[in-house]
Amino acid sequence: MAEAPSDLPHAMRRMEADLPFQHRSWQVERLSWAMLLVLVAAGLLGIFGGSGPLVAATALTPDEAIRLRYERVQRLLLRTTLLVELPRARPDGQLELRLGPEMLEGWEIHGTMPSAVVSRSGSDGVTLVFETAPAGAGTTIRLMVEPRRVGVRRLSVAAGDGPPSRPAVLIWP
């Protein structure tokens, strides 16, 4: 290893003496700054829950009977609202909303707005019956839910006997 010139300050002479180590430490420092920027950007986009452009999502049932608005990223034990929109109401003015068993395992339901007229429980989940506007007008139902488990979970919402919408949701602790 070559000696550093003697007219350099003591700290510079020490750095010059172990230049390969100094280069490695600079690389680690640059990598750390890049990782920090990625984490800040992810937080601003909503990856960790809360708000952000990546949080809000919309899903349709295969028969397009229901549009479900939900948050892709949720926090454990933090209440959130699911909006169930019905672009077209049924002629009889009633709507059956079926919540599948996988949804009931992952979320606790704290309430609905408007309130359900009838609630039935079975092996295929819970069926809630709502009075809606007459045919032709759309209806929005709010489900207030609270995630119970961490991980990737699936919502399961269907209109009556129709096919369910099953979007995935990431739940952080």
Q: What CATH number does residue 106 fall under? A: 2.60.40.10
Say yes or no: 62 and 109 in one domain. yes
Q: Which two tokens stand for residue 50?
A: 């809360």
Given this model, what pLDDT does residue 6 score? 62
Say yes or no: 136 and 90 in one domain. yes
Which domain covers residue 80, as residue numbers? 56-172
* Residue 125 placed within a domain: yes
Say yes or no: 18 and 96 in one domain. no
Given this model, what pLDDT does residue 15 score? 65
Confidence label for 168 from pLDDT (cuts 50, 70 and 90):
very high
- Mean pLDDT confidence for 119-130: 91
Say yes or no: 68 and 108 in one domain. yes
* Residue 109 placed within a domain: yes
Strand partners, 139: 86
Q: SS3 for 27?
A: helix
Say yes or no: 157 and 113 in one domain. yes
Given this model, what pLDDT does residue 27 score? 96
Q: Which of 7-16, 128-137, 154-163 shows the highest mean pLDDT?
A: 154-163
CA 133 to chain centre: 30
Q: Which two tokens stand for residue 13?
A: 């002479």
Say yes or no: 82 and 130 in one domain. yes
pLDDT tens readout for residues 63-110: 988 999 999 999 999 999 999 998 776 777 788 899 999 999 999 999
Greater model confidence, 136 or 155: 155
Given this model, what pLDDT does residue 9 score? 74
Say yes or no: 71 and 37 in one domain. no
Q: Can you tell me the distance from the alpha carbon of 156 to that of 125, in angstroms, rounded to the nearest whole number?
A: 9
How does the average pLDDT of the chain come out, rounded?
A: 87
* Residue 149 placed within a domain: yes
Say yes or no: 86 and 60 in one domain. yes
Say yes or no: 81 and 25 in one domain. no
pLDDT tens readout for residues 27-43: 999 999 999 999 999 88
Number of domains making up the chain = 2
Supply the DSSP string of 79-113, one letter for each residue: -EEEEEEESS--TTSEEEEEE-HHHHHHEEEEEEE
13 phi, psi to nearest 5 deg: -65, -35
The yes-or-no verdict on residue 60 having pLDDT over 80 is: yes
* Residue 21 placed within a domain: yes
